């Protein structure tokens, strides 16, 4: 996946909302398909507590007294709290020792507690109060006067407010702590990602034979998302790029329709218990020409180059370098120039569709067991077409392992 679902809503290649005609497709899929999620086990309180304990160990090693987090995947990861960003601060503070604290508006407390999975000190603030004073009060009460780490997605107003409330506090980057926990997936997390992947593949196989000439991206996306929902996944995105639009990784707002002999590029995913899948497939509606077949075969080989290069102990950026070197030998690029591979070879994935770190030139983070990535070395020929094949994998002690198997051929894109 190359963009967020919020971005997709503004683009001509997306179908996300199950309403109107889309609901009809969902009902048709529900009649033909059965949920695949009967064996899914949610993340337990014990797992959340173990995550907090690991973060506290990392904080201790780094000399950090507390970690500040805003709503999003990291808050879910550590506390279970599903909340939204707004101008009213809700935050989690993980102390280096003891129970975490949730700071939230007074009138939101009951709602925030509904998804809270761990014992926590919940502190509230009223509309005429400064929430960062409440955060500072918790830190002082716990005698957490050392450096405070900030999760990398926390907004500036929260950091600035904390500095004003505690002028002598040292603020540090908390990315190392959060990444040190979230980048390395547990067996349970990998199982949830595998389930999401299996659902997406099944939804693709349902959708593929229902694509007809003249269909637009929204209609294809509606079928895909309807199938995903019927299979038990939560549709996350369905980016459909047709014809020339496939040459632009984020698509085009120009009208598109399925046409004989033209490329259909589908980039779709879902979540299961919050954990994401991300799979792209490209095929030709009708008979492919020689150029389409050649580029498809090159991208297929690019995926294999990436997976061979992804070995424990190697820098993440070396995977991108290996793919790009071969693409340049084939006459693409150089580097990120077009025609060629204009984006990174892959991104991290888990609770977020895009997580650190990336398979991109210059990334020095060493690959470790438990890390998860997309493998999507697309090739894009502006004014003509693009090919993207994407399968995610996770690192094991013995090397990478795909969640989904790359397609065997252009004529058989879903195996």
Q: Supply the DSSP string of 220-240, one letter for each residue.
A: HHHHHHHHHHHTT-EEEEEEE
What is the domain count for the chain?
A: 2
Nearest Cα to 167, choosing from 145, 185, 188, 183? Answer: 145
Q: Are residues 213 and 274 in the same domain?
A: yes
Same domain, 29 and 79: no
| Claim to verify: residue 80 and residue 156 sit in the same structural domain | yes
35 contact partners, CB below 8 Å, separation of at least 6: 230, 231, 232
**What are the structure tokens assigned to 243, written together?**
């014809």
Q: What angle do CA 74, 40, 202 make, to 5 degrees?
A: 100
- CA-wise closest residue to 249 among 358, 380, 383, 338: 380
Residue 223, classified by CB atoms within 10 Å of its CB into exposed (0-12), middle (13-18) or buried (19+), is buried
Instruction: Give a yes or no: residue 413 inside a domain.
Output: no
End-to-end CA distance of the chain: 20
> Does residue 409 sit within a domain?
no
Per-residue pLDDT of the chain (415 residues; tens, 9 = 90+): 554 433 443 334 443 444 566 677 878 988 999 999 999 999 999 999 999 999 999 999 999 999 999 999 999 999 999 999 999 999 999 999 999 999 999 999 999 999 999 999 999 999 999 999 999 999 999 999 999 999 999 999 999 999 999 999 999 999 999 999 999 999 999 999 999 999 999 999 999 999 999 999 999 999 999 999 999 999 999 999 999 999 999 889 899 999 999 999 999 999 999 999 999 999 999 999 999 999 999 999 999 999 999 999 999 999 999 999 999 999 999 999 999 999 999 999 999 999 999 999 999 999 999 999 999 999 999 999 999 999 999 999 999 999 999 999 999 999 8
Q: For residue 134, give every residue at least 6 positions away whose Cβ sits within 8 Å of its Cβ, in sequence order, or none.
A: 103, 123, 124, 125
State the CB neighbour count (10 A cutoff) for residue 46: 10
Structure tokens at 404: 């989904």
Q: How many residues does the chain have?
A: 415
Q: What is the DSSP letter of 400?
A: E
Q: Which of 146, 173, 200 is the last residue of a domain?
A: 173
> Are 129 and 190 found together in one domain?
no
Calpha distance 411→415 (Å, rounded):
10
Q: Is residue 162 located within the same domain as residue 213?
A: no
């Amino acid at each position: 996946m190359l963009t967020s679902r919020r971005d997709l809503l503004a683009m001509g290649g997306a179908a996300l909302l199950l309403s109107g005609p889309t609901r009809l497709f969902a009902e048709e899929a529900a009649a033909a398909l059965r949920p695949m999620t009967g064996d899914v086990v949610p993340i337990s309180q014990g797992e959340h507590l173990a995550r907090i304990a690991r973060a506290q160990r990392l904080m201790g090693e780094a000399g950090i007294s507390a970690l500040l987090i805003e709503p999003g995947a990291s808050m879910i990861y550590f506390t279970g709290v599903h909340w939204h960003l707004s101008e009213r601060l809700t935050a989690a503070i993980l102390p280096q020792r003891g129970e975490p604290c949730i700071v939230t508006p007074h009138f939101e407390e009951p709602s925030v507690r509904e998804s809270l999975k761990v014992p926590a000190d919940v502190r509230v603030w009223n509309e005429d109060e400064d929430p960062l004073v409440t955060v500072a009060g918790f830190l002082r009460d716990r005698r957490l006067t050392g450096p405070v780490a900030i999760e990398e997605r926390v907004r500036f107003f929260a950091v600035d407010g904390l500095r004003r409330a505690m002028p002598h506090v040292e603020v540090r980057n908390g990315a190392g702590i959060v990444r040190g926990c979230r980048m390395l997936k547990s067996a349970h997390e990998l199982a949830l990602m595998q389930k999401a992947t299996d659902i997406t593949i099944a939804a693709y196989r349902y959708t593929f034979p229902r694509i007809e000439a003249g269909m637009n991206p929204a209609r294809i996306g509606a079928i895909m998302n309807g199938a995903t929902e019927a299979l038990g996944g939560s549709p996350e995105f369905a980016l459909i790029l047709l014809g020339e639009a496939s040459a632009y990784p984020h698509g085009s707002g120009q009208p598109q329709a399925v046409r004989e002999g033209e490329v259909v590029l589908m980039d779709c995913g879902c979540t299961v218990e919050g954990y994401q899948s991300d799979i792209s497939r490209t095929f030709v509606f009708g008979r492919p020409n020689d150029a389409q077949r050649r580029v498809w075969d090159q991208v297929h080989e690019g995926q294999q180059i990436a997976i061979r290069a992804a070995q424990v102990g190697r820098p993440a950026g070396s995977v991108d370098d290996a793919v790009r070197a071969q693409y340049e030998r084939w006459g693409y690029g150089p580097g990120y120039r077009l025609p060629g591979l204009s984006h990174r070879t892959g991104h991290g994935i888990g609770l977020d569709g895009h997580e650190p770190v990336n398979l991109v030139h210059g990334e020095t983070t060493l690959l470790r067991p438990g890390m998860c990535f997309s493998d999507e070395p697309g090739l894009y020929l502006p004014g003509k077409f693009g090919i993207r094949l994407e399968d995610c994998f996770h690192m094991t002690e013995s090397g990478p392992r795909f969640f989904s198997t790359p397609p065997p051929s252009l004529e058989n894109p879903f195996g």
